[in-house]
Structure 1
Amino acid sequence: MHADTPSAATRRADVDHLRVVALTLLIVYHILLIYTGREFWRVSSVHHGYWADYLLNVLTPWRMSLVFLIGGIAVRFMLSRPSFGAFVQERAARLLTAFVFAVVVLVPPQRFVRLDELGANAQQDYLSYMLHEAPFAVSYMGAHVPQFAHAWFLPYLFAYSVLIGVFWWGAPRAFAAVQRAISRVHVGVWIAATMLWFAFLETAGPQNPQGDHLFFTDFQAHLKFLPLFIFGVMIGKSEKFSGQLDAIKLPLWCAAGSLMLLSGGLEWLFLHNQLSALPWLIARGFYGATMLFGVLAFGHWALNRPTIASRYAADAILPIYLMHQPALIITADLIVSRAWPLPLEMAVLLSATTILPLAAYHLFVRHTPWLRFLFGLRPQLRAPTPTDPDADAPANDAGAPTDRKRPSFLAPWRRRA
């Protein structure tokens, strides 16, 4: 068996764990945004200040990068679908359904409860708001579209998945050649290249300063996340890559920790007008890349064992993530004006942001097929098996479907005999 081929038809438990970690960190990130001292978010606490920005600097350089890298690795295990159409249908059912549900149901309340603070008509009822304002919240390429808020990355993952699916089924030999070329390069080289690329993107300046994340104009996001997604697909089943990453994990963690401290120190100098932004942004790019691979190494080293808790969390995390921001904004709107002590305020926000979505998932979503579907889950809860299409199945040496008849792009829409 080739070194890049897994020896067992099992799921990658570390991928499930890291997916939970990635989305959990996004929840923490959004809580910290309430306290940022650099800019106004949806809600701002009276306790805001630079202290939150230093904590945000620990997460910002790599939090979304981890989501897309793990997304690419996960998609590599989904390419065992029998056809391109079946793969696209599955991705659309998971990602686009959850995106539409979030935009229509979960995002509008976040703005509605803040209308008084935004200078809008705070006297209107929710139905009037939904009919006349919520569907036209953002101007985009000459059209008005709803706000995407925290669900913005779901269509990105879908588009990237379709792109890699076209590559897999449409050009299997080219896919295999790219995968072999990537496997020949040592992981240390990939880390160094990612450090330089992240530093370049940090210093090149934001091309989307409003942070709208509207797909066709979000060039900086595509430059950062699409290569990571493709890279994740290419190394998803590579034991060689995992072995090399494991071999350098200790120096990698030391480098990530050192660069984190350096980045934080340079940020302090920048925020206190003692240094230009350039050194800080370069250090932040270097830190983001090393931390990204460091987390990946940690997952493979420490989180590669499935547990009952990890299976529960893997199923629960997307619904919890999608529900967390409405819970956070509504709760924050109710309490921040009361100027409670910081520990009490943060405890209430953290509890509301985690316990309420968890309870809603466990009581209503987990065993309700139509709600599971709306939240991007399989309609029926079931444990993974070796025959599960998402399970890791032995692949050929190249990883692309070169040893079988290439499936037709029209196959999924043809009536089966």
Structure 2
Amino acid sequence: MIVLPWLGQNIMTDIKLSGRRHDLDALRVLCFGTLIIYHTSLAYGTRTWLLNASDGSRLIDLIAAGSHPWRMSLLFFISGLVTQSLLRNRSISEVRTARTRQLLLPFVLGVLLIVPPQFYLSQHNPFPGLSYWEFWKAYIVSGLRFEHLWFLAYLWIYMFLWSLLWPCIQRLCPNLPSAFANQLRGAKLLLIPIIFLSVLRVWLYPIFGETLVISTDVYAHLVYFPMFLAGSLLMNEPSFWREVDRQRWVSGGLAILSFLIIATVVLAVPQDYRPDSLVIPMRIVRSIFQWCAILALLGFAARIANRPNPVIAFLNRSMMTYYVVHQTIIIIVAYYIAKLGMLNISSFIPVMLITAIGCGVIGEAQKLAMRYLPVVISRLVALVRVPTKLSPPGAALD
């Protein structure tokens, strides 16, 4: 009889804490992949976005409701895990330097070059009627906007803070990671994070909201920075990963149940007509869905995606490029489809597929440029550096 280990309730995974974590690679690809679907859905849902289809659908809103609560939190958690894992072969200063180079360069270039076309083509263009060059200059002077690239800025800040905190933790509280993992056992693995997220969502979200502006985004920082820290603390704690594996079915079941509740409310009651008595219960249900989905994905990924996969490896190498360019591709494609009068629900899948293909093409072009551009530049430099031969003294002139 063939047994699928990820289906077996009594089969424990071999918790692998050294070497490459292929499950984290798979989850990273999943998160960024759903980000393309999520941002495409914003053009076809009922929420006002940069561009909106003529027939926004609450059914499409389910994509955001089913992915947004957990996706960014999981990305920050994975980022904490990966950042901590880099310490196996590097010092803190080396990790900080490497992550700064990986995050800040695409962030700066993205904010200056990739984000502006989104506003130029959007229905909220602050400078209509200008040529793109004139728009770009006015846009830069009036104040830069991060749009989807806020994640890179936040992640760099959290990484920098971690690089300052981690030496202090090692010196003053070396047992903190294991003590933290010991607290997340049994029902507490579910209850402690759900209560924490519910408190933030019920009491702080109404006050601060999510601004995606670094200096004012209090609520988001209190959600995402602890997620990053939790990942860094739990990376090397086998007891945590065993507990996640043991409770994967419970967390998966709760995630499905809570999402069904959210989906029912989204489809049955429009946002503007929801009674006040429903607001707090829905925020708690959303917190349950957020954490249980993260746990379930971590648990099942460790079972299913624990071996090298060529497709995941291929995609993982270009994820940063896909992330930086995908929203601009969505806006450009949606804009020209709208010009044809075809920006309706029937164009949702084509826009999503064209975006994915465009990301792939740009990602491969970048790889080729990184591989061959230094060679081309070095050869051009060699051509212009023609050595000058000095004539010997007394040589006759032609």
Normalised to the residue count of structure 1, the TM-score between the two structures is: 0.79
Task: Find the aligned partners of 2:17 and 2:208 in 1 and give their Cα distance.
Answer: 43
Normalized per residue, the structure richer in helix is 2
Match of 1:21 among 15, 30, 35: 30
In the superposition, relative to structure 1, how do residues 68 and 372 fare at CA in structure 2: closer, same or farther (>3 Å)? farther
Alignment of 1:22-101 (within 5 A): 22-37=31-46, 39-101=47-109
**Which residue number in structure 1 is paired with residue 146 of structure 2?**
148
* Higher RCO (CA-CA < 8 Å; seq separation 6+): 1
CA distance in 1 between partners of 2:81 and 2:17 (Å): 17
After TM superposition, give the deviation of residue 227 of structure 1 in Å: 0.8
> Any gaps of 5 or more consecutive residues in structure 1?
137-144, 374-417
Post-superposition CA distance 1:327-384 (Å, at most 9, x none): 000111111354438564112211221101111111x1113339999xxxxxxxxxxx
Residue deviations 1:157-211, cap 9 Å, x none?
11111222222234413352211211222344132111122222332334554x5
Structure 1 partner of 2:139: 133
State whether residues 320 and 357 of structure 1, in contact with CA within 8 Å, keep that contact through their aligned partners in structure 2. Answer: yes
Structure 1, residues 85-139: CA drift from partner, whole Å, max 9, x if none?
222111110011111111011101111122xx33644332222122222342xxx
3-state SS of paired residue (1:122): coil
Distance 1:224 1:218, change over 3 A: same
Among all aligned residue pairs of Structure 1 and Structure 2, give the percentage whose two residues are the same amino acid: 22
Q: Report if the CA contact (8 A) 1:102-1:322 is conserved.
A: yes
Task: Tell me by how many angstroms 1:51 deviates.
Answer: 1.7
Shift of 1:56: 1.6
- The alpha-carbon deviation at position 15 of structure 1 amounts to 1.0
Structure 1 runs (4+) greater than 6 angstroms displaced? 5-8, 370-373
Question: 1:85-234 maps to which residues of 2 (within 5 A)?
Answer: 85-114=93-122, 117-118=123-124, 120-136=126-142, 145-187=143-185, 188-204=187-203, 205-209=205-209, 211-234=210-233
Which digits, 9 at most, give the CA deviation of each residue in 1:368-406, with x for residues without a partner? 339999xxxxxxxxxxxxxxxxxxxxxxxxxxxxxxxxx
Q: Which amino acid aligns with 2:108?
A: V
Q: Distance in 2 between matches of 1:119 and 1:300?
A: 45
Q: 1:371–1:185: structure 2 CA closer, same or farther, 3 Å change rule?
A: farther
How many residues align? The count is: 356
Q: Larger Rg: 1 or 2?
A: 2
RMSD: 2.5
CA distance in 2, matches of 1:354, 1:214: 28
- 1-side partners of 2:60 and 2:188: how far apart? 33
Provide, for residues 5-60 of structure 1, a one-character-per-residue CA deviation record: whole Å limited to 9, x for no partner. Answer: 977741111111111111111111101111221x3110100120222223321112
Alignment of 1:220-259 (within 5 A): 220-259=219-258
User: 1:349 corresponds to which residue?
Assistant: 351
Change (3 A) 1:207 1:33: farther
User: Aligned partners of 2:158 and 2:214: how far apart in 1?
Assistant: 11
Aligned equivalent of 1:12: 21
The equivalent of 1:381 in structure 2 is none
Letter in 2 for 1:128: E
Measure the CA separation in 2 of the matches of 1:132 and 1:27: 29
Aligned residues of 2:198 and 2:284 also touching (Cα < 8 A): yes
The code of the aligned residue for 2:191 comes to: A
**In the superposition, relative to structure 1, how do residues 329 and 341 fare at CA in structure 2: closer, same or farther (>3 Å)?**
closer
